[in-house]
Amino acid sequence: MRKIAAWFRSHPLTTSCVAIVASTVGLHLFANWRAEVRWQNYCAAARARGVKLTLAEFVPPEIPDAENFAKLPMFRTAFTRGANAAFKLPRQNGGSPPYHNYPKGERLDLKAWAKFFKDAGFISKMTDSPPRDVLLALEHYAPQCKEWSEWRSHPHCQFPMQLDASGWPQMPNYDIFSSAYQLFTLRMHAHLAAGDSAAALADFQDALQAYRAFEHTSSLVGSALRMGMLAVVCSQLGESLAQPKWGDAELRQIHQTLAAVNVWRDYKQGFDAERVLSNSMYDRLAQSIAERKKLSPMILFPATASWKNTAIALIPSRVFRDNQLLQNHYLDEQLARVSADERQFDPDRPVPSNPENLNGYLDEFYFFFSKLFANGLLGVSNQTVTLQTRLDQTQVAVALERFRLAHGAFPEKLAELVPGFIAELPLDTYSHQPLIYRRQDGGTFLLYGVDKNRADDGGVIGAKGSDGDRLYLVWLYAPPPAP
């Protein structure tokens, strides 16, 4: 030891360099250890609150095959062979007719759909009844529709969780769902136009099954897609209400079905899924340099950017742990906006861990990963508020139509709907008051909510639906005023 000490005394420059390197390595290891301790302390406190942090904790119990909608043959095919075209429409030059563009005054055109199916060879000729022509053409999908209808005897749905190389779920079943709910809403319109509201109700329930069956989706993306399905089904139902053909019995069933939908529970489900998936990825990034190099092309850079992938491999593990911790706090704060009974959302509750609140370039650079994830989370929050508004409006519109059928006209005030046509009026997300309603001349009405500014602007949107930011606030499907 004396010789080593003497050597260091005789080589002061080398000694200084060794001391600097040792101190740097020591500080680096200490900082990584402190970040790991912060994360583990959070995990202990979160689990004590019942928070699920890993995939193993998140996966629900197995469902018996006899009760599992996901075990239908069409879904087994999708997961074994890739995307399935069970409900795909035929390909035609120019594509299929639009389902609708209601904000711009366009309606679903059954005659155009009948021509589309004739050109595809689904029917031999067109008659003077486009609804009947469309229904005949849709018999092409009769085997698939019969199989799909088995959801009535398969009350639960749980798909296998298949992860890609980055650890994110694959969803080959989504192609089936996205085609199915559109086909069933088209058939709903055709049945309704043909005067068969009982069959139209069955179509509505079949369309909504696409939303129900995605309940245990294992990613935030899947949750967003699921909410998108519900939004389209509500809009299609709204368009059908604009041409009054429903019977009271069917409307009562529709109202009961929609009343069972809990958008804020879906919101929590999606955020919980995002938590466990992102935690799984952060764990891989923090614990293994090899995993960082493997994941970096998938989440940040193209495979050709080799120097960038090498650079990400050299990032200290504490950076990933601190980003993971910030993101989990952000998720906690977003979820705290939902009330304990999962019926209300507080858009004014502060979210201090939002990466948008970071101060200074260095903080934004350090928390780059959590900021990247948070951008997607914010979009889902806004989408959920939009969807809740549309769902509330749909339920009120159904109650209004039932009132009209019973009394020959719409009510003067929404309060007249309670309790005979709706148990209670839903509250606007921003105002926490019932939606704004006005009965108008010509046997129609105006129904809308307020925006973030809480101002009543009269339910006005831009000409031909150009004001996209306000479309979700205004119910677009009131019957046209009588001439």
Q: Lowest-confidence range among 165-179, 182-196, 327-341?
A: 165-179
pLDDT confidence bin for 16, thresholds 50/70/90: low
3-class secondary structure, 279: helix
> Taking residues 24-44, what's their average pLDDT?
86
Within a domain: 138: yes
Cβ contacts of 321 within 8 Å, gap of 6 or more:
32, 35, 36, 38, 39, 282, 286
Q: How many angstroms separate the CA atoms of 335 and 51, rounded?
A: 11
What are the structure tokens assigned to 323, written together? 């980003």
Asked, for residue 189, whether it belongs to a domain, the answer is yes
Provide, rounded to the nearest whole percent, the portion of the chain with pLDDT above 90.
42
Instruction: Return the closest-CA partner of residue 439 out of 420, 421, 417, 466.
Output: 417
How many beta carbons lie within 10 A of that of residue 322, not counting itself?
21
Average pLDDT of the chain to the nearest whole number: 84
The CA-based angle 366-371-375, given to 5 degrees, is: 170
Higher pLDDT, 239 or 218: 239
The verdict on residue 335 lying in a domain is: no
pLDDT of 451 reads 83
> Residue 127: exposed, middle, or buried by beta-carbon count in 10 A (0-12, 13-18, 19+)?
exposed
Q: How confident is the model at residue 201 (pLDDT cuts 50, 70, 90)?
A: very high
In a domain, 474, yes or no: no
pLDDT in tens, 438-463: 999 999 999 999 888 888 878 776 55
Rg (CA), the chain: 28
pLDDT (0 to 100) of residue 303: 47
Q: Do 109 and 97 form a contact (C-beta atoms < 8 A)?
A: yes
Q: Can you give the length of the chain in residues? A: 483
What is the phi/psi pair of residue 448, to 5°?
-160, 170
Give residue 240's domain range: 60-246
How far is the C-alpha of 303 from the C-alpha of 224, rounded, in Å?
28
For 342: left if phi > 0, alpha if psi spans -120 to 50, otherwise beta; the answer is left
323 versus 305: the higher-pLDDT residue is 323
What pLDDT is recorded for position 465? 46
DSSP helix/strand/coil, 338: strand
Q: Best-predicted range by mean pLDDT among 91-100, 173-182, 254-263, 286-295?
A: 254-263
Least confident interval from 58-67, 112-121, 468-477? 468-477
For the chain, what percent of residues have pLDDT higher than 70? 82
In a domain, 92, yes or no: yes
Angle at 421 between CA 415 and CA 424, to 5 degrees: 55
pLDDT number for residue 311: 66
pTM attached to this predicted model: 0.87
The phi-psi region of residue 121 (left if phi > 0; otherwise alpha if psi is between -120 and 50; otherwise beta) is left
Q: Do the domain assignments include residue 151? A: yes
- The reply to whether 81 falls in a domain is yes
Total count of domains within the chain: 1
Residue 253 domain-assigned (yes or no):
no
- Identify the pLDDT of residue 1: 58
User: How far apart are the C-alpha atoms of 370 and 326, rounded to whole Å?
Assistant: 7
Mean pLDDT for the stretch of residues 50-57: 87
Buried b / exposed e over 426-461, threshold 16 CB at 10 Å, is bebbbeeebbbbeeeeebebebbbbbeeeeeeebeb
DSSP string, 14-39: HHHHHHHHHHHHHHHHHHHHHHHHHH
**Residue 11: which pLDDT band, with cuts at 50, 70 and 90?**
low
Q: CA 245, 251, 256: angle at the middle one, nearest 5? A: 160
Least confident of 13-17, 197-201, 275-279: 13-17
Question: What is the rounded CA–CA span in Å between residue 344 and residue 80?
Answer: 40
* Peptide bond connecting 419 to the previous residue in cis, omega within 30 degrees of 0: yes
Residue 425 pLDDT level (bands cut at 50, 70, 90)? very high
The per-residue pLDDT for range 138-182, each reduced to its tens digit, is: 999 999 999 999 999 998 888 777 665 555 566 667 778 888 988
What is the average pLDDT across 265-291? 84
> How confident is the model at residue 288, as a pLDDT?
75
DSSP states of 424-444: SPPBPTTTSSBPEEEEETTTE
